[in-house]
Amino acid sequence: MITLKAILCVNWLRCMTLALLLPVLAQAGEPLASWNDGPAKASITRFVQAVTTEGSQDFVRPGERLAVFDNDGTLWSEQPLYFQLLFALDEVKRQAPQHPEWKATQPFKAVLENDRQALAAAGVDGLLKIVAATSTGITSEAFTANAKAWLAQARHPKTGKPYTEMVFQPMLELLDYLRANGFKTYIVSGGEVAFMRAFAEQVYGIPPEQVIGSTFQTRFQPDEGQPSILRLPKLAHNDDGPGKPESIEAIIGRRPILAFGNSDGDLQMLQWTAAGSGKRFAGLVHHTDARREWAYDRQSRVGTLNKALDEANERGWTVVDMARDWKRVYPFEAP
């Protein structure tokens, strides 16, 4: 026989369980849960509400709700070097047995000997030479396989986490929030497009056809009934600075209504987005959190934020202060 005492005990347990779960359930259902309440979060939600409310003067049809995001420094970290450069450096060491000439040839010699001074002296041209040597002369399928293999085993030197976990939890939530409100989300980054496509769908939920980046020239090869695409060691398009709006126009064919970046390399994409008719949103991620991530802007050699920050302040664009506006930075942090 079920007694009154037993019934009361079961009900008490249910109430206690519900009380414990309510905060978790509330956070799980809350959009932008990892964002602190403040001007940045409010500007995002106001914008989305304005362009998605039918009958509003700012209403935008779903097919025209396009949002573009830089990748490095905007969706994931970019220190101590852009992650694709770290991949290329590791590839030099992995591929070195097939290239004995690298032992006596700079900048490869510097990589193999861990000579940071010589590598720094090689400059941007030296780094581009490394990227081209390790990422071209092979098929697109082979490159993607190399990138995925590296992403699966490589670890960030500061956190020890896989690079695909060095993504920003608040930006993942923003991508989900926009898509839930009828937006189509794109990556428009200076990173090489094939490298980003190796992880973007799994990590960001952004399919390959919505990933735009720098590209190498390619050549179709019949290969006796097994056709392939060969990656050639010549840059076809540099998707940085003015290259970003140029590729948006060429590939998407429609001006976005929302753009997010974090550096001067994103300035022209933000200008292009903000200059369109109707309601527009331009945002910058400002790296201000030296404890949880890094703090850098105007003087940084990686992700320099100078001119874009000035223009954002002048034009009233949204500047996200990482230390102030984000409750957590990475998914692996406790909420």
User: Is residue 47 classed as helix, strand or coil in its secondary structure?
Assistant: helix
| pLDDT tens-digit series, residues 60-84 | 999 999 999 999 999 999 999 999 9
Within 10 Å of residue 73's Cβ, how many Cβ atoms? 27
Kindly tell me if the per-residue pLDDT of 11 is higher than 60.
Answer: no
User: Looking at the predicted structure, is the pLDDT value of residue 172 above 60?
Assistant: yes
Mean pLDDT, to the nearest integer, of 120-144?
94
- Strand segments, DSSP code E, in 43-195 are 66-69, 184-192
Average pLDDT over every residue of 209-231: 94
- What pLDDT band is residue 10 in, cutting at 50, 70 and 90? very low
Burial environment of residue 152 by CB neighbours within 10 A (0 to 12, 13 to 18, 19 or more): exposed
Residue 335: the pLDDT is: 75
The predicted pLDDT at position 255 comes to 98
Task: Give the residue range(s) of CATH 3.40.50.1000 domains in the chain.
Answer: 33-81+160-325
| Burial letters 85-123, b for 16+ CB under 10 A, else e | bbbbbbbbeeeeeeeeebeeeebbbbbbeeeeeebeebe
Q: Measured between alpha carbons, how far is 261 from 244 in angstroms, rounded to an integer?
A: 11
At 308 the pLDDT is: 98
pLDDT at residue 214 is higher than 80: yes
pLDDT digits (tens, 9 = 90+) for 226-275: 999 999 999 999 999 999 999 999 999 999 999 999 999 999 999 999 99
- CA atoms within a 13 Å half-sphere pointing along the CA-CB vector of 139: 11
* Residue 225 backbone class (left: φ over 0; alpha: ψ -120 to 50; beta: rest): left
Q: Dihedral (C-alpha) 66, 67, 70, 71: value to the nearest 10 degrees?
A: -100
- Residue 6 reports pLDDT greater than 90: no
Q: What is the pLDDT at residue 59?
A: 98
Which of 199, 172, 234 is closest to 32 using CA atoms?
A: 172
CATH code of the region 33-81+160-325: 3.40.50.1000
% of the chain at pLDDT higher than 90: 87
CA distances from 176 to 61, 62, 301, 306 (A): 18, 15, 31, 29
Chain centroid to CA 261: 9
Confidence of residue 124 (pLDDT cuts 50, 70, 90): confident
pLDDT per position as a tens digit, 299-331: 999 999 999 999 999 999 999 999 999 999 999
Looking at 5-14, 178-187, 190-199, 257-266, which range is the least confident one?
5-14
R_g of the chain, CA atoms, integer Å: 23
Q: Is the pTM of this model over 0.85?
A: yes
What pLDDT, on the 0 to 100 scale, is given for residue 29?
A: 67
| Mean residue pLDDT across the chain | 92
pLDDT at 18 over 50: no
